[in-house]
């Protein structure tokens, strides 16, 4: 594998393209949530991603217990909570940023469950990022329901647990893995939608479906999920994870910028400063200080993607 100085310009451009797509994806989710109930929308995105792809990627290449575990933690819990939080009022840009607190939870869970000892630079970076998240919470909670923010934070907790499960699974093919994880999430999310949103809400959404809703659904299923993970997996096969992972820091940048440009979301000086703290804190966790690589965070950020 090649390191940073060996990255070809077209591969660097691909990395920027994918992380930009994953950032803009939060805006697309907001658009889709205007037409779908959140749990149904999440179920349909996984259905659209899994069904056409599962016939081409072959059988799962890891044990089913890991596919099921990540399917429930990442597919059902993480995305269900994030979609619920965004439907409750959490802005797209802030969602893309707050969701990156998964780095903190991943390091904590890896320390407890995998006995991985975080380095001092990781702890310092986590502390800086945590300050940024707290500032965002204080700023957001002034005029918005704090429950929406908490739902996204809980989604980050679920993502952190799924990262640890993925560490155990060690999937050799990222695209194959995410397709089967997507397939696992469909039925539980549909069941939750029927129970909590009701069949009438789903029927109303589907009967009044517009091309905007269809476009949003296909974008997050095919462009963000299948295309995004396919290219990301290719880059991880070509280069060290420590070379590819830092590009994921562009996701919240693209998310906040696109939310501001496309949805006219508020970007106050405090939020910009807090966002800078979060990004700098996460960047610090990827720094190499010696021959031994950072333990948990790079693999956590390998999955940095959509909401």
pLDDT in tens, 74-122: 999 999 999 999 999 999 999 998 898 888 888 888 888 888 788 888 8
Q: Break the chain down into helix, strand, coil percent, rounded to 5.
A: 80, 0, 20
Whether 243 has a pLDDT exceeding 80, the answer reads no
Number of domains in the chain: 1
Q: Between residues 138 and 81, which one has the greater pLDDT?
A: 81
Predicted local distance difference test score (pLDDT) of residue 4: 45
Residue 164: give the domain boundaries: 4-302
CB atoms within 10 A of CB 289: 11
- Is residue 90 within 8 A of residue 148, CB to CB? The reply is yes
Q: What is the mean pLDDT of residues 234-239?
A: 82
Predicted local distance difference test score (pLDDT) of residue 292: 45
Residue 44 lies in a domain: yes
Predicted local distance difference test score (pLDDT) of residue 298: 39
Q: pLDDT tens digits for 255-295?
A: 999 999 999 998 888 888 988 888 888 787 766 554 444 33
Q: Is the dihedral of CA 288, 294, 299, 305 positive or negative?
A: negative
Q: pLDDT tens digits for 4-63?
A: 456 788 888 998 999 999 999 999 999 999 999 999 999 999 999 999 899 899 999 999
Token readout for 185 is 């999430």
Residue 87 lies in a domain: yes
Residue 41 lies in a domain: yes
Residues 6+ apart with CB under 8 A from 50: 179, 180, 182, 183, 186
Residue 307 lies in a domain: no
Residue 99 lies in a domain: yes
Predicted local distance difference test score (pLDDT) of residue 233: 81
Residue 89 lies in a domain: yes
């Amino acid at each position: 594998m090649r390191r940073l100085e060996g990255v070809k310009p077209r591969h660097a451009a691909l990395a920027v393209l994918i992380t930009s797509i994953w950032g803009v994806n939060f805006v697309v989710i907001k658009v889709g949530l205007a037409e779908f109930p959140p749990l149904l929308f999440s179920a349909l995105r996984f259905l659209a991603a899994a069904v056409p792809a599962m016939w081409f990627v072959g059988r799962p290449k890891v044990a089913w217990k890991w596919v099921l575990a990540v399917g429930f933690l990442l597919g059902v819990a993480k995305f269900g909570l994030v979609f619920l939080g965004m439907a409750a009022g959490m802005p797209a840009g802030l969602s893309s940023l707050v969701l990156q607190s998964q780095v903190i939870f991943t390091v904590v869970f890896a320390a407890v469950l995998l006995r991985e000892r975080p380095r001092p630079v990781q702890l310092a970076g986590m502390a800086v990022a945590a300050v940024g998240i707290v500032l965002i919470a204080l700023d957001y909670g002034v005029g918005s329901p704090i429950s929406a923010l908490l739902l996204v934070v809980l989604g980050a907790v679920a993502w952190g647990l799924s990262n640890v499960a993925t560490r155990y699974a060690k999937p050799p093919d990222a695209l194959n893995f995410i397709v089967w994880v997507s397939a696992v999430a469909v039925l539980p999310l549909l069941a939750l939608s029927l129970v909590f949103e009701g069949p009438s809400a789903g029927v109303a959404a589907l009967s009044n479906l517009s091309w905007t809703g269809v476009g949003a659904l296909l974008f997050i299923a095919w462009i963000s999920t299948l295309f995004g993970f396919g290219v990301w997996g290719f880059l991880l096969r070509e280069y060290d994870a420590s070379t590819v992972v830092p590009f994921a820091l562009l996701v919240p940048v693209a998310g906040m910028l696109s939310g501001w440009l496309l949805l006219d979301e508020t970007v106050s000086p405090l939020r910009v400063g807090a966002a800078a703290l979060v990004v700098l804190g996460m960047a610090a966790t990827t720094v190499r200080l010696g021959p031994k690589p950072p333990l948990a965070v790079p693999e956590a950020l390998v999955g940095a993607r959509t909401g």
